[in-house]
Amino acid sequence: MSDINTQRRQFLKTSAGAAAVAIAPGMLLYQVAHGNTQAASSKVRWGMLIDTTQCKEGCNDCVGACNKENGLSGGTKATDPQWIRKIELKDIGSGRVTSLPMMCQHCEHPPCVDVCPTQASFKRADGIVLVDRHRCIGCRYCMMACPYKARSFVHEPLENQNPDVPRGKGTVEACSLCVHRIDKGQIPACAEACENKAILFGDLNDANSEIHKKVRSVASVQIRADLQLNTGVRYQGL
């Protein structure tokens, strides 16, 4: 292998990189102006890695950010929707206390999608599990099937919804991973709001992404792994 060859490769790489850097902002600008006209790709698998050792007991920042972003009231009556909630865990054996946020785990094999009679519950190509509120008939079978109690039913008529997040009475809803933000190239509101950076968001399939590397290097678990749903949200430090 000659030196020249390596140099040539190096040059090609650099210039390709430079070209990418030059074009990318243009692409971004285009996206902002016209919306993301690309369909979600099945090469991507959006997910989260939640570091419970960084999650503070009593801190509710992620919940507050979610409520604000998605226009939830923040009420905690039994009939109020909650897309994300903080759970405090106490190990019965050792007494160790852990705190973590719980939301839709965006399963690869979501039970809610299996049971939905109208295909309103569906998994987008990039792994986000959503409710198509135009098809949902409000039967609540998905809520029965979800192992994480991630879904809520809208029990009351709503007003003044966020234009980016339509919500309405009589349908089931849940964490959408802030799909409207993801499609704009932003990260979910909860991940952005966490001061301790306990929520790492990214593409589990992208070998260069931080989340991909971290999931490979640190021990993480899926909740109710026994059900073999292959969740997109993973927890570390449990």
Of the pair 40, 238, the CB lying nearest ligand HEC is at 40
Give which of 197, 210, 220 is closest to 59, Cα–Cα.
197
With binding defined as CB under 6 A, does residue 34 bind ligand HEC? no
Q: Is 143 helix (H, G, I), strand (E, B) or coil?
A: helix
Site for ligand HEC in 90-149 (CB under 6 A): 133-134
Residue 202 binds which entry of ligand HEC, other proteins, none, with Cβ cut-offs from 5 to 8 Å by kind?
none
With binding defined as CB under 8 A, does residue 143 bind other proteins? yes
With binding defined as CB under 8 A, does residue 216 bind other proteins? no
Q: Is 214 helix (H, G, I), strand (E, B) or coil?
A: helix
121 has which bridge partners?
A: 131
Contact of 158 with 165, CB cutoff 8 Å = no
Q: Which tokens sit at 21?
A: 């850097």
Site for other proteins in 13-42 (CB under 8 A): 34-40
We find the least distance from the C-beta atom of residue 218 to other proteins, in angstroms, to be: 20
Contact of 132 with 120, CB cutoff 8 Å = yes
With binding defined as CB under 8 A, does residue 70 bind other proteins? no
We find the least distance from the C-beta atom of residue 197 to ligand HEC, in angstroms, to be: 26
Total number of residues that touch ligand HEC (CB under 6 A): 8
We find the least distance from the C-beta atom of residue 216 to other proteins, in angstroms, to be: 25
Q: Tell me, rounded to whole angstroms, the distance of Cα 155 from its chain centroid.
A: 24
Q: Which tokens sit at 171?
A: 């349908």
End-to-end CA distance of the chain: give it in Å, rounded.
49
We find the least distance from the C-beta atom of residue 171 to ligand HEC, in angstroms, to be: 4
Residues 55, 146, 175, 191: which binds other proteins (CB under 8 A)?
Answer: 146
Q: Tell me, rounded to whole angstroms, the distance of Cα 151 from its chain centroid.
A: 14
Site for ligand HEC in 141-200 (CB under 6 A): 164, 166, 168, 171, 179-180
Report the DSSP pairing between strands 172-173 and 233-236.
unpaired
List residues near ligand HEC by CB under 6 A.
133-134, 164, 166, 168, 171, 179-180
